[in-house]
Each structure stands twice: as C-alpha cells, then as structure tokens.
Amino acid sequence: MAKIYYDSDASLEPIKGKKVAILGYGSQGHAHALNLKDSGVDVVIGLHEKSRSREKAKKDGFEVLTPSEASKVADIIMFLVPDTVQPDLYRECVEPNLNPKKTLAFAHGFNIHFKQIVPPPDVDVFMVAPKGPGHLVRWMYEEGKGVPALVAIYQDATGGCLDKALAYAKGLGATRAGVIETSFKEETETDLFGEQSVLCGGVTALIKAGFETLTEAGYQPEVAYFECLHELKLIVDLIYQYGIAGMRYSISDTAKYGDVTRGERIYEAVKPLMKDILTEIQKGEFAREWVLENKAGRPVYHALLERDREHLIEKVGEELRKMMPWITGKELK
Ligand SMILES: NC(=O)C1=CN([C@@H]2O[C@H](COP(=O)(O)OP(=O)(O)OC[C@H]3O[C@@H](n4cnc5c(N)ncnc54)[C@H](OP(=O)(O)O)[C@@H]3O)[C@@H](O)[C@H]2O)C=CC1
Ligand SMILES: CC(=O)[C@](C)(O)C(=O)O
C-alpha cells in the first residue's frame, strides 16, 4: 500500500520564511501562487516582460519579476510554464542563478525524466504534481477541499527536500486530499499514459466515437449529445463519489447487463492499444515526438485541435448548454 501523506503528516515550516518563485501564471501557475499565498507562503511570480499573464498576476496581488529576476531572489523555483518551454527557460533564466541553497521544483516530471533539464548535483529537486487541472486545484482550495497530488524527490542535496516538498503540497491544499510519494519516472509515465489513454485522449475518443456512431446512423445530434456527453458526467460523478459498484447501484438492470457484457468487448478492444501507448511513453518515443513537434512549430497539434473545434458535437453542445446555465460555473481564466 502506498505511503499517503495528509495534513497531519506535513508542516508548512520548511517553506515558511522562504521565497517561492512561480514561473508561469497559467492553469497550474495561478493556482499554486494563490493557494500558497493564502497558506501564508511568500510568493513571487516570474514572467517574461511580454507575458499576457503579467497583468492578471499583478491584479491578483503578486510582485511580478522576470523569470531571471525571480530565480535570483527565490529560494524555491517552481516551473509552471508549458513543459516544452521549460528547458530553454531553465538554461536562459534559472541555471545562471543557481546555487546550493536553491531548490528546483516541478509539477510534472517530463523534463527531468527525459533529461531535457539536467540540474547540478548540489541543489534539491522535487516535484509536487496535482492530479487535477489547475483551475480545480484553486477552486477546491477555496472551498476548503483539496486535489490529491504526487510528490517525488529527484535530488536531496540538503537532506530536507521531502519536508520542503510536503510543505509545498500542504500549501497547495493537496495534503487535505492525500499526497503519495512516487518517483519522477512513475509520475511522468503514468501521467502521460492517463492523459492520453483514459482521461483527455481516452474519454474524448469514446465521446466522439459514440456521438458519430449515433449521428451517422441517422439519430438526432441533440439526442446523441445528451447520451454520449452530457450523461457521461452524471455517470462519472457517481463513479467518483461511490465507485463503479455504486454507479451500478443507481443505473437500471438493463444498463448493468449492457455495461458488463458490451463494455467487456470495448475493454478487450482498447486494452492492447493502451499497452502500446504506454510502451511508446516508456521507450521515450512520445517524448521525442512531442519535442520535435514543438521544434517544428506544432503543425499536427494545431491542425488536430482545429479539426475538433469544428466537430458537430461542439456546436450542438454549445447550443444545448445555453439552455442549462447552471452548467457553466466559474469562468475558465
Ligand atoms: N494544466 C494542468 O492542469 C496541469 C499541468 N501540470 C504541469 O504544470 C506545468 C505548467 O502547465 P500549465 O499550467 O498547463 O501551463 P500553461 O500552458 O497554463 O502555462 C501558461 C503560462 O506559461 C507562460 N508561458 C507560455 N509560454 C512561455 C514561454 N515560452 N516562456 C515563458 N513563459 C511562457 C504563459 O505566459 P503567457 O501566456 O502569459 O505569455 C503562462 O503564464 C507543466 O509542467 C504541466 O505539465 C501538471 C498537472 C496538471
Ligand atoms: C490535469 C492533468 O493532470 C493533466 C491532464 O495531466 C495535464 O493537464 O497535464
């Protein structure tokens, strides 16, 4: 059984009185900065002069420096810019300001695990990886709740790196839900696998395939939307709250039989593909592809995102969600 750390297992003391530089103010960046500040931690934001996030960070009450200036004054430097820009940011703005008293921190292990960033051996390096989108990390914190996280230590030059990582996780609100200690390798490989095969990539594939199967058979797109997307949230909410058995308690016997029989055939079809996707991650093939895609200006990334933005399900969904204003809650900003 994994060792799970909760609030009572962690203290903020190791980072109290230390300055934490958050490089980036996007999905995770704004959440980490605001949660840590609300937890009493001294936070400074590092953003390039032309960053669109500068005004938002200032409006949220933060001192905003350049990444280089922030790295100079900080004790802990957390990388919360896109993974693909971190290596250049590290080399240009952080590495020149490093010394053994500073700590590097990450929210995903990609660049350390795939050696896109190789820190000097005399600095502490940790990861606190929330298992949820940044906006939820902030909203759950504001509600007195927390998003679970993984914590990993890559280098412990001082002997106190885990305490610092757990303090950071506590400041995020993650120890309210539970923090599992892992490795950069395990977090990177499982996170990439999950977001590609189960969460984002997996669930989007199921939704689109189901929607298209129904609409191509002549059923109304609105019916297909309610069946394959809208109701999915309701079913997943039950699984989230009560487990698979709990969800099955609430659905009909007819649905249960279809679930365990036809669902078995989908399971048999997708699991070999999932294993292939994991192997590509483990062998570094995905990492190489993603690094090269960025060097080429993200042609595939932009083309496929644009294709999906034009998908019928997006147009149908936009109209139907207007009739249920309670769905769209806080603004995603
Ligand atoms: N998104 C999520 O929920 C999760 C993300 N993570 C990890 O957190 C880290 C941050 O991810 P995420 O929050 O999604 O990142 P975002 O894409 O939301 O980060 C955007 C921020 O990075 C800045 N930025 C963008 N490009 C550059 C650049 N070239 N140089 C400097 N700053 C730049 C943006 O500035 P501006 O746009 O203002 O110019 C903005 O402030 C990643 O390692 C990711 O893997 C981990 C768990 C979940
Ligand atoms: C939200 C999260 O943890 C993801 C999907 O892995 C990510 O955005 O990187």
DSSP H or E run through 42 = strand 42-46
The CATH number assigned to the domain holding 142 equals: 3.40.50.720
Q: In this model, does residue 176 exceed pLDDT 90?
A: yes
Q: What is the pLDDT of residue 28?
A: 98
Q: Are residues 150 and 213 in the same domain?
A: no
Site residues for ligand 2, CB cut-off 6 Å: 132-133, 191, 195, 199-200
Q: Are residues 137 and 255 in the same domain?
A: no
Q: What is the pLDDT of residue 302?
A: 98
pLDDT in tens, 24-62: 999 999 999 999 999 999 999 999 999 999 999 999 999
pTM: predicted TM-score of the whole model, two decimal places: 0.94
Q: In this model, does residue 331 exceed pLDDT 80?
A: no
Q: How far is the CA of 124 from the centre of ligand 1 (A)?
A: 22
Q: Which two tokens stand for residue 137?
A: 């990390």
pLDDT in tens, 154-172: 999 999 999 999 999 999 9
Q: Are residues 179 and 198 in the same domain?
A: no
Domain count, the chain: 2
Q: In this model, does residue 330 exceed pLDDT 90?
A: no
Q: Distance between CA 260 and CA 73 in Å, rounded?
A: 57
Residue 107 domain flag? yes
Cβ of 214 closer than 6 Å to ligand 1, yes or no, is: no
Task: State the average pLDDT for the chain.
Answer: 97
pLDDT in tens, 78-136: 999 999 999 999 999 999 999 999 999 999 999 999 999 999 999 999 999 999 999 99
Last residue of a domain, one of 155, 183, 211: 183
ipTM tops 0.95: yes
Residue 212 domain flag? yes
Q: Are residues 63 and 158 in the same domain?
A: yes
Q: In this model, does residue 276 exceed pLDDT 90?
A: yes
Cβ of 188 closer than 6 Å to ligand 1, yes or no, is: no
Report the amino acid identity of residue 188: T
Q: In this model, does residue 192 exceed pLDDT 90?
A: yes
Q: Are residues 175 and 217 in the same domain?
A: no
Q: What is the pLDDT of residue 2?
A: 80
Q: Are residues 219 and 297 in the same domain?
A: yes
Last residue of a domain, one of 159, 183, 207: 183
Residue 158 domain flag? yes
With a pLDDT cut of 70, the percent of the chain lying above it is 100
Residue 131 domain flag? yes
Q: Are residues 160 and 196 in the same domain?
A: no
Average pLDDT for 175-186? 98
Average pLDDT for 216-227? 98
Q: What is the pLDDT of residue 150?
A: 98
Q: What is the pLDDT of residue 326?
A: 86
DSSP 45-70: EE--TT-TTHHHHHHTT--EE-HHHH
Q: Are residues 173 and 206 in the same domain?
A: no
Residue 327 domain flag? no
Q: Are residues 165 and 278 in the same domain?
A: no
Q: In this model, does residue 3 exceed pLDDT 90?
A: no
Pairing assessment for the beta strands 149-155 and 179-182 based on DSSP bridges: parallel
Exposed (0-12), middle (13-18) or buried (19+): which is 212, by Cβ within 10 Å?
middle
Strand partners, 4: 180
DSSP H or E run through 263 = helix 253-282
Residue 111 domain flag? yes
Q: How far is the CA of 23 from the centre of ligand 1 (A)?
A: 9
Q: What is the pLDDT of residue 328?
A: 76
Q: How far is the CA of 39 from the centre of ligand 1 (A)?
A: 22
Average pLDDT for 10-33? 97
Q: Are residues 69 and 205 in the same domain?
A: no
135 alpha carbon, closest ligand: 1
Last residue of a domain, one of 183, 215, 246: 183
pLDDT band at residue 319 under the 50/70/90 scheme: very high
Residue 87 domain flag? yes
Average pLDDT for 282-311? 98
Average pLDDT for 8-23? 97
Q: Are residues 276 and 152 in the same domain?
A: no
Report the amino acid identity of residue 220: Q
Q: What is the pLDDT of residue 332?
A: 77
Q: In this model, does residue 329 exceed pLDDT 90?
A: no
What's the number of CA atoms in the CB half-sphere (13 Å) around residue 287? 19
Q: Are residues 174 and 203 in the same domain?
A: no
Q: Which residue of the set 30, 32, 48, 108 is catalytic?
A: 108
Which residues span the domain enclosing 251?
Answer: 191-322
Residue 329 domain flag? no
Tell me, rounded to whole angstroms, the distance of Cα 244 from its chain centroid: 24
Q: Which two tokens stand for residue 279?
A: 């192997």
